[in-house]
Amino acid sequence: MNSAMPANLGLTGNAIKVLEKRYLKRDREGKVQETPLDLFKRVARTIARADLNFDRPLGEVQALEDRFFDMISTTGFLPNSPTLMNAGRRLGQLSACFVLPVGDSMDSIFDAVKNAAMIHKSGGGTGFSFSRLRPTGDVVGSTKGISSGPISFMTVFDVATETIKQGGTRRGANMGLLRVDHPDIIDFIRAKDVNNRLNNFNISVGITEAFMRAVEAGEEYDILNPHGGNVVRRESARKVFDLIVSHAWQNGEPGIVFLDRINAGNPTPAVGEIESTNPCGEQPLLPYESCNLGSINLALMVKDGAVDWDKLKAVTRDAVHFLDNVIEINRYPLKEIEETTKSNRKIGLGVMGWADMLIQLGIPYSSESAFSLAGDVMNVIQAEGKNASEELANMRGDFPNHELSIFAGERRMRNATITTIAPTGTLSIIAGCSSGVEPLFAVSFVRNVLEGTKLVEVNPYFERIAKERGFWSRELIEKISETGSVAHMDEVPDDVKAVFVTAHDISPLDHIKMQAAFQKFTDNAVSKTVNFPNHATKADVEEVYRLAYTLGCKGVTVYRDGSREDQVLSTGSSSQTADKELAQPETTASGKIMPKKRPDVMRGETRLLKTGCGNLYVTINADENGNPFEIFTQMGKAGGCAASQAEAIGRLVSMAFRSNVDPAEIVKQLKGISCHSPAWGEGGRILSCSDAIASAIEGFLNGRRAAPVTKTDTHSQLPPHNDGEHQVMRQGACPECGGAVEHEGGCAVCRSCGFTKCA
């Protein structure tokens, strides 16, 4: 191993920052104890030494360690985050994905809660199917009581996850799945209508072939009680499908998972039925099964303007060997998980840097050439991966359930599955490449760094081409950073625009076509977000769902731009400003806006909000049309910095009001900003003085209702911001650094600091 290699290994500054914050080993005082070089050495050494279990000579193991080190230190391949964090360390839990069973009894339910807590503590995410739980109102035979149904028990899992994740390096995340033929399916689809409910869950509806046939035919389908399997009623398939579409359009959830299609590809059907997936949907698993994931960096698989197929095959072989070794040395959180995982030995080898590969090859993302190449690339990885697994089986033996698998009598296999395409949020930041099989997040964007400093970052391929072709300028880059896209930049040549497309430059149908192209040669599933513009209709979402089903996808995740921002503010806030004609502010001779003049007398309301700095009194005065005109703040008995900051915010907000800035936009900017000292008010948590001012404005806009939400509100039992993290995530801003958040495969990742809302 090259010990002279520099400690930063050519990593970007942002990659080093993310590694230091989330991955590198620390002492008890929190001081970083290793460099990125040390981390890669630690991981390579630990994983390679699993070969000693198979009596491989030490010299060969050391050579394997060198190959593993070269592969991960150059970021040609990176394993999932728990492996980077924990390999060679005391915890030793290396898996990212788990599925736990939830049976129809109190013992089974709370065993699952306990087991999930152990997994989250170790850095993993969990998937559950709640489809076996009897429906709401069903009689419980043992006690003659009445069942409260799956959704009520999901809240128990949610609260447990919230408790366990506090202070962890990785946040616990869950997938909650319910079959479309469960009696509580309507309530499940609507489960996230209320803000801050099931925030630690992604939820998906398990779609059956029978349901889809009924949708196509406009017929009803059977609703089954899982406790006995009897038909309890019939539902209009079209009505349920429309409800799923409507809610996905509204806030991105629920997603859909084609359960029957997943089980058609189940490699061990005689062992059991697949009922759920991991939190981001790409890894279907049996109960008590885990999977170890890793991704090949396709950005590094290009040479002289063409795909370097030989390098891709070599990395694939080593990656399969690496992931099988992970299974061997992993310290599993539960005995049942270790037994089931080692019986099937599933691995999930995927890709990242796909958009970067296309850019280097000059191929537009939304082209037939790109769809064709996607199939070619994944076909090679799939085929070479299976060959590598077969070689390992010849040396180490087949996976124990091989004789119960689809491979029995055909070929030897060490692993029941080989390929999965997972989200690569923080991994792609470390590798300095695009995420998974997604298009570019942005050609240029603003990254927040320490002490409020903002840096404008630009895609390195775009920077090189712009300089080579003479259209580079700092003014252009700053202009691009406002939207992230070059689609409407006159300074950028058309052929460059065609290649440097971002998620919102691509039609939703092309997103699905790309997902389907990769799915064709993927054992498990493909994690991909279908991005919609804000003005997209429900019919657009339905069209994507139908195309995904037609093209053979195993699930769909959609995100309509701004849809979760709309959740934060009630519909009343926007309608109040839209329905009233605003007086226009004056302008100077040069066209600059002059704030409207203040009348001598104004009327308004004062709200008391409890903050970590003391009581904050916020007075909002309105103009003759009832629109907010100015704001005053008073910090009770407190003074100093807190009072001056609140006064400064009040003055700036007042100027914005008087310049006809939409108050809802002001709320979005202030809401969710957190400080070191949050406080609980009567109806919820106040994260800072800025957050308190936003709540006061929101309350004023929402019909002069006290803010935070009081007990008179219909959702008073679920306060609107009991968790600052979730409040900010819905606004598209990172709760840790305030940077832009990228939606990917049912997750959300900040490319500034590496924060992710899911494990």
C-alpha distances in Å from residue 28, one per residue of 20, 25, 274: 15, 10, 41
C-alpha 199/C-alpha 115 separation (Å) is: 19
- Token pair of 705, please? 């209702």
- Tell me the HSE value of 78 on the side-chain side, using a 13 A CA sphere: 32
3-state secondary structure 506-574: CCHHHHHHHHHHHHCCCCCCECCEEEECCCCCHHHHHHHHHHHHHHCCCEEEEEECCHHHHHHCCHHHH
Handedness of CA 220, 224, 230, 232 (dihedral sign): negative
Among residues 199, 251, 280, 459, which one is catalytic? 280
Cα angle value 227/229/232 (rounded, 5°): 95
Among residues 235, 282, 630, 744, which one is catalytic? 282
Among residues 14, 80, 86, 278, which one is catalytic? 278
Are the C-beta atoms of residues 374 and 363 closer than 8 Å to each other? no
C-alpha distances in Å from residue 340, one per residue of 116, 399, 744: 16, 11, 29
Residue 346 CA, chain-centre distance (Å), reads 23
What secondary structure letter does DSSP report for 493?
-
Rg over alpha carbons for the chain, rounded to the nearest Å, is 27
What secondary structure letter does DSSP report for 497?
H
Residue 214 CA, chain-centre distance (Å), reads 31
C-alpha 357/C-alpha 428 separation (Å) is: 13
C-alpha distances in Å from residue 470, one per residue of 328, 495, 499: 53, 14, 17
C-alpha distances in Å from residue 614, one per residue of 15, 279, 617, 635: 39, 39, 10, 7
Q: Which long-range contacts (CB under 8 A, 24 or more apart) does 536-540 make?
A: 536/249, 536/508, 536/560, 537/249, 538/242, 538/245, 538/246, 538/249, 540/508
Has 280 been annotated as catalytic?
A: yes
Are the C-beta atoms of residues 222 and 196 closer than 8 Å to each other? no
C-alpha 533/C-alpha 506 separation (Å) is: 10
Q: Write the burial class of residue 597 (CB in 10 Å: 0-12 exposed, 13-18 middle, 19+ buried).
A: exposed
> Quick count: other Cβ atoms within 10 Å of Cβ 250?
17
Q: Which amino acid, 402?
A: H
C-alpha distances in Å from residue 546, one per residue of 179, 216, 556: 18, 10, 10
Has 196 been annotated as catalytic?
A: no
- Token pair of 115, please? 């087991």
Q: Which residues of 638-669 are buried (b: 16+ CB within 10 A; e: fewer)?
A: beeebbebbeebbeebbebbbebeebbebbbe
């406080």: which residue's tokens? 679
How large is the greatest C-alpha to C-alpha distance in the chain, in angstroms? 90
C-alpha distances in Å from residue 76, one per residue of 68, 73, 428: 10, 8, 11
**Torsion of Cα atoms, 653 then 657 then 658 then 659, to 10°:** 100
Q: Write the burial class of residue 29 (CB in 10 Å: 0-12 exposed, 13-18 middle, 19+ buried).
A: exposed
- Tell me the HSE value of 169 on the side-chain side, using a 13 A CA sphere: 19
C-alpha 43/C-alpha 569 separation (Å) is: 46
Has 344 been annotated as catalytic?
A: no
Catalytic residue numbers read: 278, 280, 282
